[in-house]
Amino acid sequence: MTGYLGSYATLGLLLLAAVLFFVTAFSANRLLRPGRPADPWGKRATYECGLDPVGGDWAQMQIRYYVYAYLYVLFAVEAVFLFPWALVFDRPGFGVTTVVEMGVFVAVVALGILYAWRRNILRWT
């Protein structure tokens, strides 16, 4: 399909195919599932490595685990920015500019690591 409205027609057909696939999958699921699923004793009980559950269902997490997760996501996302830089660095005319930009970027990352290290966030206790 060409022309101005051709791209909209392609998008419309793609959306129609997605809706049809969604409806077909859920209809097949409803038709093929068992009418009365088995409900043996203990099927819906909490499973903890073959042992009976002990204690309540609410547990408090320490904040340091969230800090580790935050730092991991922060540095993983920043590491992803290194790949496009490595691809652009080899092109003519981008050498000095990309080195300066990456120097600033690595300096910001280094400051973040230094801050976390000085605050003893990275120490596992």
For 2-9, the CB contacts below 8 A with 24+ separation are: none
76 within some domain: yes
36 within some domain: yes
The domain that holds 39 is classified in CATH as 1.20.58.1610
pLDDT at 33: 85
Q: What angle do CA 99, 92, 86 make, to 5 degrees?
A: 45
d(CA 102, CA 99): 5
pTM: 0.40
What is the number of structural domains in the chain? 1
Tokens standing for 88? 């652009």
Q: Highest-confidence range of 34-38, 88-92, 112-116, by mean pLDDT?
A: 112-116
102 within some domain: yes
Domain that holds residue 81: 4-119
* Coil, helix or strand at residue 12: helix
Q: Calculate what percentage of the chain has a pLDDT beyond 90.
A: 15
> What is the rounded average pLDDT of the residues 93-98?
74
